[in-house]
Structure formats: C-alpha cells, structure tokens
Chain A
C-alpha cells in the first residue's frame, strides 16, 4: 500500500500516571485517510495512547506527558495550543454509546453550538449531512426530536459518530467503539468506518484482533507500555517480526 502524508507524528512519547509509566518512548506515524488499529492486552497503554492524541489525558488527575505529538506538523503539547480547536479537529468516539439525554437533533448540533454556531439553516444542513454520513438519516428523519436515549445501541453509537462528524474533525479516534454492540451491529459499524476513511483519518483501539485485521490498514501492537511492533496490517498478521506479536496474534496469550 502506498503511503499518504502523515497527519500525526508521535515522537518519544512518555505518559505517566503519578509514578507509573503507562507509555514508554512511543514513536509512530499515522497516515491520512487510513485506518490505524492499536491492539494489545488490557492495560497495555493503547487507550492511553489514543487519549494522548487529543489531550484527553489532561483531564486525568496526576497524568503527565513527555515528548511530542505533531498534528499537521505542530506539537499539540505546546503551551500555545488551542485545546478546544485541537479537540474539534481530533475527535473521539467512546467505548459505550453515550448520547446526551437530549433529542437526536440537539445531540448532533451540540458540538457546533459550543463552537458558537447558531445559524439555523447551517445547523439543519449539518444535521442532515452528519446523519446521512452514518446512514442514519432515513431511519431517524421522523424521530429527530425524540430523545436519543430511546435509540438502539447501534443507532446510539452511529449517532455519536455523527455528532462528532458534525464538527468536521480531521482525525477520528475510536476507543473500542464496538465493544458494547452485537456482531451484526459491529459489522455494520465496520462498514461505516470503511466508508469514512475516504474523508477522515481513523485510529481505532480494539480488543478484537479479527476486527483489526478486517478494517485496518496499519496495526500497532502495544505491550506493557511499549509499542512492540507497527506496520501494515497484513504484514503484522501474516509475518510479525517480533516474537511477542506473534504470540499475541496467534492467541498464545492476551
């Protein structure tokens, strides 16, 4: 697969929770319009890594970050970084579907409103486009003012993705986005990811190795805070260079 440009370049990233070092000197490039999967056993640091990319770790008390994360060439850990703008451009989808207890429409427009957009026509246009992008428009066009908590789990997760797309991010970080969904819904969300990578760069953390193999272009294997191996997905799954990666993907542990 031919490489595209790097959207995110991680250089010597160390993350600590108090005295515990959660990530050790990580170096990794994330390419535009590709799906990068991060795999590894629980507690290996993959979610920590994901949160380091939009500085969500800042919200965790006692968390300290060293090194650089270059987004479009600029280090996001520079003091002058506009944090709100960064999080708009590098958005996040969480493990559990977590719509606000508001209507479908209010959920979608929430992000736009907090960024100061109030133009009704623009908001309606965005509502339509975002729901369309996650294939929810036809299902929900008559339920726009219903409470989002009434939707099914899959619809909720799609809605959360749409809510994120509404603010026009460039990178979408997904933290085990299918772990609360059944296999059919999971397959459909994976199809969606495939569609989305035309317009977005996606980084997904997953426990599910088949998922990583199915959807991703690149895979990184984390173990105990180290990035053991990173490369094109088919290479990682067919001929891993590191013995530890091989042990993990063949199911010998993890």
Chain B
C-alpha cells in the first residue's frame, strides 16, 4: 500500500541508503557504482518531493503530521521521531533535493580524479538525508538532530582534503563556531520544554498564544524577560551559527576550503538556510515577541551590509561568492525580523538556485584554470568557457536583482517589507538592505569582469613541468596553489564536460523564472497555516497585499524604485572601475588604505576571536591545569598530605626506640594521664 507515510519515509531514507552503500562498500561498488547509487537515491527523493509538493499545492494531500517511532519516553512525556510535511516543508524538500541532485551530477565531473570519490558521494548523500530530517521534523528533538547532523557532514566536507592544514583548521573552526550557536539553540529548546512541557511542534504552536503571554524569566534578578523573547532569542542564536549571521559568521568564508560542489550545496543553497527555515517554522512563537524579532532584524541587517562590503576586496573567486552568501542570508534574516517570513522563504528558494549556479560556475572556472582560484590570474575567460560565462551572467543578474530575474522579485519583496515595517530597528534595516543592493552589484560585477572579461592575466605554457597533467590534477587538491607559479597554465582552459555544464544550465532556468511565483508564495496564501503571518510586514503593512497587482506590475514598478537604481549604480561603478579603467581600483585601495585594510582584515573579528577564544582558552586551560590540578590539588593537598604523613611517621618512628625503659616511661605517663582524665571526669 503506497501511503503518504511510506512516500515520506522513502524520501528521507533513499539518500541515506545511497550514503551507506557508497561509504561502507565504496571500494566494492567502485566509482561508477558509488555515483549511480547515490544519484539514484537522491533522484528518487527529488521526484517524490516534487510529487509531495504537487499534492500539497493542489490540495490532494492535507498536512501530514505523524510520528514514526518513540525515541525516548519518561512517564507521560515522549520524544518522537516523526514528520510534519506542509507546504513550507515541501518547498524546502524540493529545493534541497533538486540542488542536491544537480550537485551530485556535477560532482562526477568535478571530483573525477580525486582519490576520495566514493567518500565524497557518501558524504553529500548523507548530507541530503540529514537536511531532509531537519526540514521534515515535527518536533524539536529531531530538529536538533538534523541541525547537528548537517553540521557534522559540513565538518567532514570542509575537511574533505584532510591533508591541507587550512582545511582541517577551517572545519574545526566551523564546527566549534556552530556549536556556539547550538549552545543557544539547545537552551532555547530547553526553554520550550520548560514552558510548554512538550517538544512537539503542533502542541507547542497551538499552546503558544495562551501559554507564553504574561510568562517571564528573571535571568538577572529584577530584570524579567518575556518568555517569548527568551525562546526567540535563544533559538535564533542557533540560527546565527548555522546561517552564519554576525557575529558567528566567521566560519563560512573559511568553509570554502571544501570542494566547490559542497560550497554550492551546503554552504550556499541549503544548510546555511536552515536557520532561516527554522525561524519561519517557529513563526508562531516569534510573532509573540517584538523584541526577539527586532533582535533578528538588526543582526540580519548588519550581516547583509557589512559582510557584503568585505566581498568587494576579496580576490579568491569562491570567497567573493561566500561573502555574497553571507550578505544574502542577512537579507533573509531581515525579512524574518520584519515578520515577512514568506518573503524570507521565497528568497531562500531563489537564492538556492542562483547561488548554487554561481558556485558551480566558479567551480567550472576553477577546474578549467587547474585549481587556480585567484581572480588576479584570470580574465578574458568568456571565449574559453562560453556556457559557464553565460550562466554566470544569468546568476549574477538574478543575484543583483535585475528586473525580471528571480532575485529581483524576492529581494524587492524583502526591501519593501523592511521599508514598511515599523518595528524597532526597521529604519536601520532598510538602510542596510538598500545600500546592500549597491554593494551586491559592485562585488558581483567585479567578479564577472575580473574573471570573464578584460585581458587574460594568465600564461598558457605548452610544456610540462616534470610531471604529467594527470599527476598534477590528481593531487592538485592537496595543494592547489602548489606546483605552479600563479597564473601559469599547461593547457588553455576549456569548457568541462556535460556533467559540469548541464547542472549550470538547469540551475539557470529557475534562476530566471522562479521569481514569477512570488504572487501566491509571498502575496498569496500559499503558506497559510504553515507559517504565521503569511503577508509581508504583516498587519503593519497589510496594504502591501492590497497593492499587489501581479508580477508584471511589480516589474514595472521596480524600474522606478530605489533598489533598482542602487543596483544600477553598483553596476556602473563596477563597469567603470573593473572593465574600463582597472588602475582606479588600486588607486582607490591606496587612497582609502585604512578602510581597505579594515575590510581585508575582515574588521579584525577573526583575529580577535582567535586571540581571545583559541589562545585565551588554551591559556586558561594551562592555568587551571598547572595551577589548579597540579599545583594546588596534587602537589599541595594530595602529595602534600602524603609527605606530611611521611614526616610525621619519621618523627613518630623515633618513639619506637627499642629501649624497654622508654616504653615503660611512656606507659607510666599514659597511665597517669588516663587516671587523671577519669578523676576529672568523675569529679
């Protein structure tokens, strides 16, 4: 019997099955076996997810909410593993499985010569399983499971090339910084259990409007915090880790040490959006706290603008895209903060497509350039990589919000919502997201120009450097800036095979057209019941929905609105500086040297963290160990009392002299003392 339950179980477990086969039996099934089984698994998941979304969108299915098994049971309280699948979940499932499927295919080409081929497929399938468990969960325990499981796979994949010191530093950093977020997240879950006595979404959401108001917690005596604010802020700290919001953003740029396919899948399209999804899922709780939402908004706005600025000064092609991801995550977070949850999810979706496209395109360039990632050694690649070039332009236009492209609709909805919001901090948020549009256009077109346009800044040499192409390619991953002088290539770059360019083309399509669904998804009732407050800016700007006259009207209106002209300004600046007059960039860097250095140093945040938390932590540990454990407890008390006993024993031993008259004397003294004692007591 094919039931919805069975279909959902297959969706979740098919990638896990692929991961297990490719991981445990990788050498037996071989390379082709590994990629076939994992692609089949994710493919099945994708098709069924589409079916589920179709059923939910057309009303064929109602909301699915069922427990699969009981995980833990104490008296009346049970923690379960189960699925809650509504339209919000289904959209996430389709986004996750579609990008994952394309990345799986792309990986065949990208990792073709890597010795860890099967392991890589195993990891990305395991990731898909974990991410599905996260989005499909119907309770907080399983949410945390998925949350940490995607973190684990991210850790494994950032450190995939485990010989590189930078990679194994980056993956540890990513995990620990995420754990800082999870620290808050777990306490948030604890707060939920405290006030609701349940970890089940439906029970919690249904009870929220009656349970939370009026409840508070005095974290500091005399300063009560509203319950909804405590829960909202704590859970959002988790989102700050996973979705890399300031000040827990520092791990994401370093995560670029991982192979490019996972930068696209995990660190752009899906995992990093888990925080956004989580807040949208928890919207019934967040709607009860303006303070928590203002906190969310301010953090998001800060991230959107200030990480985007860093993107302008990066030279590594992947890092530019990484900072762009940070900035775009900030946009989504702002949308959450102004209660425009559907706009956040919509931008999450469009961003997943165009950012995966940009990353995979960057990967295509990196393969063609033999693992060169520095844009200063690129330029003029458009004639060598026509497909990548065309799709990169599409992705960039979508990212910068060119009217008609997907990013235009999703980003404008956010900016509009921030504009209309009256929540505390919304003025700052609107400023940040508006200026952010200029910044986005600037770094995006800078990347396009430095990479694909202008003069070639690399030399093609037709002689070998003492080892063959294959040998180099095979271990190039281990030291990608290694063997070659920068900017020297053995062969002219060329377009990689279809497994690489086909995913680019398939991602380019939704990057263009996905925005046209904005009507139902953001301004309609598509998410009704799944998330609270389905209309952007909520009651504060209900007229936002009334003004909605369809995507075409929005398009026309967009041409006269401020964000468009900010984008145009960014585009014009980038075009002038990086296409027509490249010397200006250097002059500007010199003229604004302090600012340039500040951005180059990422505002000094990484260095500060390293000094305080890494060095400081080790110093504190040494102090406690040497000072506390060794000096005080062991040398002082334990060995101290041992030597005290030894000294006392040495003294007392002299009493046992062996002379009879000593003992006799001692006995007499003892007898007198004893008798004296009795006499005193009896008196």
Do the two shown chains form a genuine complex with each other? no
